[in-house]
Amino acid sequence: MPLRLRLRHLILGAALPLSAAAAAASCEAVSRPQLTPVIELYTSEGCSSCPPADRWLSGLKPAAAQGRVVAQAFHVGYWDNLGWVDRFALAAATARQRELAAANQLRSIYTPQLVRNGRDWRDYDSALLTRAEPARASIRLLQRGPDLFEATVVPTAPDQPWAAYWTLTEHGHASKVRAGENAGAELRHDFVVRQYVPAGTRTGTQQLQLRTIARDGDAPRSANLVVVDPATLQPLQALSLSCPG
């Protein structure tokens, strides 16, 4: 084979693995023109009325996989003193629930509580029914590394202030409850919020980053970004990203 052809084959052969590796490492998502509904469930393994709500939330997995909803299960800790400590409970989850209660002018917090697009929502059957409301921001999510996600947020109105928060959610968890109101039950959980990170209030196009906590097992994970109106806490847009590995 002439030297020039041999060099060409060598160059192409070296380029192919790099291209394949780059494609494999690429994991990103872009939001739709319509607002994606945001569902938050406030729940606890110590609450006897929570398992049916947990099962209902698990039923949203097909819709979430299609990008039609961003679902999150916030486990709170104020049931832990009744005999069973919920290993998924976050103090930040209770703080967020109190923030939403104030925005909704509720006198108290409770479980299970369903929050749809920042509003207390009692009708589970119609939780995803919504008009094709246009989003007021666009989001692009990209995984930069095994524990690093990056987002670009572009508000529709350049001067509009916006706030945002990240969550890291996991599927497929199970717990055998040995005490408290659910003693003897085996509970299964999806969309479990393992990390909640407020990103503050901003204006204009901005880039945000999430450094995730270390993996605990091999549960499938999603990084979620919810962009909201800071005055009402209602979403401007939301997006989830699930990457292999």
Residue 19 has pLDDT above 70, yes or no: no
What DSSP state is assigned to residue 59?
Answer: T
Please state the rounded mean pLDDT for residues 169-195.
97
The pLDDT value given to residue 190:
98
Identify whether 41 is part of a domain: yes
Separation between Cα atoms, residue 243 and residue 7, nearest integer Å: 37
Judged by DSSP in three states, 81 sits in helix
Residue 17 has pLDDT above 60, yes or no: no
Q: For residue 174, what are the domain limits?
A: 27-241
Identify whether 205 is part of a domain: yes
Identify whether 13 is part of a domain: no
Convert the pLDDT of each residue in 59-115 to its tens digit: 999 999 999 999 999 999 999 999 999 999 999 999 999 999 999 999 999 999 999
Total tally of structural domains belonging to the chain? 1
CATH of the domain at 93: 2.60.40.10
Identify whether 5 is part of a domain: no
In contact, 147 and 212? CB cutoff 8 Å? yes
Among 26, 51, 32, 17, which residue's Cα sits nearest to residue 184? 51
| φ, ψ (nearest 5 deg) of residue 196 | -130, 120
Among 194, 235, 185, which residue's Cα sits nearest to residue 212? 194
Residue 198 has pLDDT above 50, yes or no: yes
